Amino acid sequence: MNLLHILLRRRASLRYTLAADGSVTIRQGWRRVQLSHSDYLLLAQLKGWQA
């Protein structure tokens, strides 16, 4: 595998972490976004994500 393929595959994967307080951390590659539970629910509704 070349480096570009590894980087593209790594960027495509999303990881979700749910904290005890209900906040959600979404990681994509080297980026990380932390949302409150209500913000995550709003984002999921806007994006049409299924729970």
Instruction: State how far the Cα of 42 lies from the Cα of 31, in Å rounded to an integer.
Output: 20
**Which pLDDT score is estimated for 29?**
79
Give me the tens of pLDDT residue by residue for the chain, a chain 51 residues long.
466 565 556 556 778 898 999 899 988 878 899 999 999 889 889 988 765
Type of residue at 12: A
| Per-residue DSSP letter, 16 | E
**Which pLDDT score is estimated for 3?**
62
**Which pLDDT score is estimated for 23?**
92
**Which pLDDT score is estimated for 32?**
92
Residue 25, SS3 per DSSP = strand
CB atoms within 10 A of CB 35: 16
pTM score: 0.61
Could you state, in order of their start, the residue ranges of all structural domains in the chain?
3-47
- In order of 1, 2, 17, 29, 45, the CA distances from 32 in angstroms are 25, 25, 11, 8, 20
